[in-house]
Structure 1
């Protein structure tokens, strides 16, 4: 038990706190709005390359990836729903608002030392 707690302490000492990188990781999801692509790839690359060196990057990266994968699945579900009385159009609108607002909200939460919260996120990772 003592070895486990010591290794956890050593791991936390080796990781540095970098709130700016966490905020950038959350905000990089908005690249889809600006450029049309990159909103999935850029946070994924940042998470995979920095998860061992930045404190809380593992949790934040998993939350971002779970949210992005969940939103993709919900967008796919909305496609056939368009034929059903146009409910898919309303779904696209709601999902579009969620994918724009929650990266900003969670970037603010991370900068205030709070845990990120993405609604409707299915835990894949």
Structure 2
């Protein structure tokens, strides 16, 4: 077996160093953070009984920044889809309570509490990940907006 001489191995490329396009800028990370936290702000401002407040913030950020910032486009869509999914769950629990003449509250109450805590925790985790520049995916989310 012969080993090729060192001169036969091409030297590593000495071209210009190009910044990785996949790494989001600090402005993109900040807007992605706002997309996730705007759901919290919307829920606090409108109250838990008006579920539309939780997804209006991510919707506005997505509509404004979707064409100019790819990372914000991805994360705002993710926040929007997650909050729409949670709103659907809340509506289903409300309907369950109404059609059972209030008896369903014994199921809807604890399930709603668990969903609310999970929503809060996952939204905070997503905001932290977005601020770190990581593309976060919420679990159990229906992807309405692709």
TM-score (structure 2 length as normaliser): 0.67
- Give the match's secondary structure for 2:141: coil
- Structure 1: distance between partners of 2:121 and 2:66: 24
Q: Report the equivalent of 2:127.
A: 107
> Are the counterparts in 2 of residues 80 and 88 from structure 1 also a CA contact under 8 Å?
no
Return the structure number with greater helix share: 1
Deviation at 1:81, TM superposition (A): 3.6
Q: Report the equivalent of 1:97.
A: 117
**RMSD between superposed Cα atoms in Å:** 2.1
Q: Report the equivalent of 1:41.
A: 56
Deviation at 1:85, TM superposition (A): 6.7
- Structure 2: distance between partners of 1:85 and 1:99: 20
Q: 1:86 to 1:67 in 2, by over 3 A?
A: same
Please list, as runs of the form range in 1=range in 2, the aligned pairs for 1:78-89 lying within 5 A after superposition.
78-82=93-97, 83-84=103-104, 86-89=106-109
> Are the counterparts in 1 of residues 58 and 77 from structure 2 also a CA contact under 8 Å?
no
- Give the match's secondary structure for 1:71: helix
TM-score (structure 1 length as normaliser): 0.77
- Structure 1: distance between partners of 2:42 and 2:120: 9
Residue ranges of structure 1 left out of the alignment (5+ in a row): 1-11
Q: Report the equivalent of 2:41.
A: 31
Deviation at 1:23, TM superposition (A): 0.6
Larger Rg: 2
- Give the match's secondary structure for 2:58: helix
> Are the counterparts in 2 of residues 40 and 68 from structure 1 also a CA contact under 8 Å?
yes
Runs of 4+ in 1 over 2 A off after TM superposition: 80-85
